[in-house]
Structures are given as structure tokens and as C-alpha cells.
């Protein structure tokens, strides 16, 4: 298991070997907030769980068990920052996926593949972002996390608007609503496929690219026109001997 110590710049300075001076330790960390978030992101990736303790983060950062509370109101607030980080990662990957492609359609398709792959590359993080831990019964999501989600959606919208499915669409109000409709379908199917893959309710995850492509084509052409053929060894739903209770 990768130890946090490998990021010396994020450790409490007290644990850094100063070659000469033996000043015991500076009282202040200097950049604790960033260190805590980074440790949390690492921990989520390593353990694929968000059930770590704030105290564990403090331990990894080399500070006392209550230091994080100077930067985060509570655990939910901390996880919101981690989630925002996740939205940042997703957005940058989506942006990168779009850059190399020349045709609008290729851009949207590549974005779809990379969206799904980012999800299955770090399932726990993706689930934190969309898993509703941060969406309380009635209260809104934390602001930092909402803003990050907003940016991600903007990327989706831009790609679809840009692609506009190959047709030139003037920006009328009606066409704007059509764009919204396309985003809704596109996002729903990507989100759903990603989570079904993560939950291993469909698979295999190694064929995620092909499955994305299949779903993407099925969505464009319409199931009434042409149903996508899945890869030969793909499976859909739990394959299960109907166990006897």
C-alpha cells in the first residue's frame, strides 16, 4: 500500500529531515488543506472506499487529530472537496479526449469513451461524486462541489452543441431545448453505463470501450433502426444460478 510519506511536500514539515538544523518542528503546517485533500484522494483510490476517518488523514499528514477541523466544517465538507477534485479530474480528461479529434462526431464519441473509463478507473471517487453522500434529503450539495459539477456538465453540453450530431443547427430557443434533450439522453446513458460497469452488473469492464461504443451507436441510430451487437464475451446483468434459499 502506497504510503503518504512519498509526497514529502505534503507531509508535516516536522517529519522532513532537515539535513543540518534540528529545529524540532514548525508549529504550523503551511498548506494543510491541500495536504488533507490530497491524502483523502489517495486514500479513496487505494482503498476504494470513502469510509476512512478524519483522524487517519490527520495521521498521514502528521498533524493532530483535530487539525483538519480548522479547514473543514465536518466530514461531509471534506468529502465535498474530494468530490470537487474528482470532477476536476473528469473534466480535464474529457477535455483532453476532445482535443485530438478532428470531426465533431469523433469528439463526442471519444468523450463518451473517456467519461466511462474515468469512472471505472476510480469507481469509489466516481461514486462519491454522484453517489448522493453529498446530496442530503433536502439540503443542497456543497457549493464547491456544485460548481465543479457545473463545469463538467458544461463540457458535455459544449461537445454536443459543437457536434450537434453532424447537422448545422441555428441557435434558436427551440434548438436549445433540443440540445438539452440530447444532453439528457447522452448523459443518462453514459452515467448509467458507467455505474452498471462499476457495479459489475454488466461487463466485462475490460471491454468498456467496446461497450461504450455499442451503447453510443445504439443511441445515435435508435434501437428501432439498429440494435448494437455487443462483443462476443460481454454479459448484461448478474449471471447467476438462481440460488436456492
Partner DNA sequence: CCCTTAAGTTGTCGTTGTCAACTTCAACAA
Partner DNA sequence: TTGTTGAAGTTGACAACGACAACTTAAGGG
CB of 244 to a copy of itself, least distance (A): 9
Instruction: Say which residue the cell 479547514 belongs to.
Output: 71
Contact partner, 147, from a copy of itself, DNA, none, Cβ < 5-8 Å per class: a copy of itself
Residues between 222 and 241 with contacts to DNA, criterion CB under 7 A: none
Q: Is 70 in the site for DNA (CB under 7 A)?
A: yes
* CA of residue 151 relative to chain centroid, distance: 13
Which residue lies nearer to DNA by CB, 78 or 182?
Answer: 78
Residues between 68 and 107 with contacts to a copy of itself, criterion CB under 8 A: none
Please, what sign has the CA dihedral across residues 82, 88, 91, 96? Answer: negative
Q: Is 18 in the site for DNA (CB under 7 A)?
A: no
Q: Is 47 in the site for DNA (CB under 7 A)?
A: no
Q: Is 120 in the site for a copy of itself (CB under 8 A)?
A: no
Q: What angle do CA 99, 48, 80 make, to 5 degrees?
A: 70
Give me 181's grid cell.
Answer: 434533450
Q: Is 48 in the site for a copy of itself (CB under 8 A)?
A: yes
Q: What angle do CA 48, 51, 52 make, to 5 degrees?
A: 95
Q: Is 9 in the site for DNA (CB under 7 A)?
A: no
What is the distance between the alpha carbons of residues 139 and 189, in angstroms, rounded to a whole number?
Answer: 27
Q: Is 69 in the site for DNA (CB under 7 A)?
A: yes
Bridge partners, residue 202, by sequence:
236
50 in Cβ contact with 44 (< 8 Å): yes
CB of 136 to DNA, least distance (A): 12
87 in Cβ contact with 148 (< 8 Å): yes
Q: Is 197 in the site for DNA (CB under 7 A)?
A: no
Contacts with DNA by CB under 7 A lie at 12, 26-30, 32, 52-56, 63-67, 69-71, 74-76
Amino acid at each position: 500500500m502506497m504510503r503518504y510519506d512519498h509526497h514529502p511536500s505534503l507531509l508535516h514539515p516536522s517529519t522532513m529531515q532537515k539535513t543540518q538544523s534540528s529545529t524540532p518542528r514548525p508549529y504550523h503546517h503551511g498548506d494543510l488543506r491541500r495536504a488533507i485533500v490530497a491524502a483523502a484522494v489517495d486514500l479513496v483510490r487505494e482503498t476504494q472506499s470513502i469510509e476512512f476517518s478524519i483522524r487517519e488523514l490527520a495521521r498521514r499528514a502528521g498533524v493532530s487529530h483535530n487539525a483538519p477541523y480548522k479547514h473543514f466544517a465536518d466530514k461531509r465538507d471534506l468529502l465535498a472537496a474530494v468530490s470537487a477534485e474528482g470532477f476536476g479530474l473528469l473534466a480535464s480528461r474529457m477535455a483532453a479526449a476532445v482535443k485530438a479529434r478532428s470531426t465533431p462526431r469523433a469528439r463526442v464519441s471519444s468523450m463518451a469513451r473517456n467519461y466511462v473509463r474515468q469512472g471505472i478507473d476510480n469507481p469509489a471517487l466516481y461514486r462519491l461524486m454522484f453517489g448522493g453522500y453529498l446530496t442530503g434529503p433536502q439540503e443542497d450539495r456543497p457549493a464547491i462541489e456544485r460548481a465543479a459539477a457545473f463545469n463538467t456538465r458544461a463540457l458535455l453540453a459544449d461537445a454536443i452543441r459543437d457536434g450537434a450530431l453532424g447537422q448545422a443547427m441555428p441557435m434558436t430557443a427551440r434548438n436549445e431545448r433540443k440540445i438539452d434533450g440530447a444532453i439528457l439522453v447522452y448523459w443518462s446513458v453514459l452515467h448509467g453505463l458507467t455505474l452498471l460497469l462499476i457495479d459489475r452488473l454488466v461487463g466485462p469492464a475490460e471491454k468498456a470501450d467496446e461497450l461504450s461504443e455499442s451503447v453510443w451507436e445504439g443511441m445515435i441510430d435508435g434501437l428501432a433502426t439498429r440494435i448494437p451487437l455487443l462483443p462476443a464475451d460481454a454479459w448484461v446483468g448478474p449471471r447467476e444460478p438462481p440460488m436456492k434459499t
